[in-house]
Amino acid sequence: MNNLIHPEAHSKVLPAKKLVVLLHGVGSNGHDLIKLAPYIKDDLSDCYFMAPHGVEPYDMAPHGRQWFSLQDRTLYVMKRLLGSNIASVTDIIKQKQIALNLSNKETIIIGFSQGAMMGLYLTLIQTEPFLSTIGFSGLLVAPPQCINTTTPICLIHGVLDNIVTVDAIDHAIQYLSNHKVPCSAHKLENLAHSIDYRGLEIAVNAIKNSSLKQ
């Protein structure tokens, strides 16, 4: 992993006041998700965008990256693999935070699909809360203990998603509500396993609202 350069996009305001970490889906890589930056960076002009590559090579195809293996999708196996790889993801984020002189309270996590799974897990185990977390088309795999109940979490999911079905958002909201984590859920009609302009607008507004409450 050390020889992989993580795609980045600069903010209009330098030095950046916030860090946005974009976590891609399984079998993809950071180059894919950094393409979102041009669509939202004008609205988040004080942010620095980073889209790290998954910490492992994709194990079901010759190309791509993954945050953890999905060959066995039973819940306890995914939870174990997430927990095993969380330190590597944390280290990537910490290195960039140090470089930008920022901390978790100025960091925003945006994840898609498996990246949302990693982002949600990562958020819930933080001792210092992130500013905001956005999960697109993801599944909540809860950590052994919910430590962070402060970071606002916004979940966005397409109703037509046949990869991670939209009912995943209901299970996530139930867990987050039970643990008194501030959360919002948005089910988008006529959207499959993807991110569209509606989702990006919701995400930007959620991030702006979190920033106003700082």
pLDDT digits (tens, 9 = 90+) for 121-141: 999 999 999 999 999 999 999
Q: Which residues of 69-100 are buried (b: 16+ CB within 10 A; e: fewer)?
A: bbeeeeeeebbebbeebbeebeebbeebbeeb
Torsions phi, psi of 76, nearest 5?
-70, -30
161 is catalytic: yes
- From the list 11, 28, 53, 113, the catalytic residue is 113
pLDDT tens readout for residues 84-124: 999 999 999 999 999 999 999 999 999 999 999 999 999 99
Nearest to 174 by CA among 165, 162, 185: 185
Residue 80 has pLDDT above 60, yes or no: yes
Residue 167 has pLDDT above 80, yes or no: yes
Residue type, 145: Q
Domains and CATH numbers, the chain: 8-212 (3.40.50.1820)
Q: Which two tokens stand for residue 60?
A: 């079901």
Angle at alpha carbon of residue 170, lines to 84 and 52, rounded to 5°: 35
Work out the average pLDDT over 39-52. 94
Distance CA 201, CA 203 (A): 5
Q: Is the dihedral of CA 14, 52, 203, 130 positive or negative?
A: negative
Nearest to 90 by CA among 136, 23, 186: 23
Q: Which two tokens stand for residue 206?
A: 């959620």
Residue 2 has pLDDT above 70, yes or no: no
Whether 172 contacts 123, CB under 8 Å: no
The DSSP secondary structure of 105-130, one letter per residue, reads GGEEEEEETHHHHHHHHHHHT-SS--
- From the list 28, 137, 161, 210, the catalytic residue is 161
59 is catalytic: no
72 is catalytic: no
Whether 157 contacts 186, CB under 8 Å: yes
The pLDDT value recorded for residue 214 is 66
Q: Which two tokens stand for residue 78?
A: 């995914």
- From the list 103, 193, 196, 211, the catalytic residue is 193
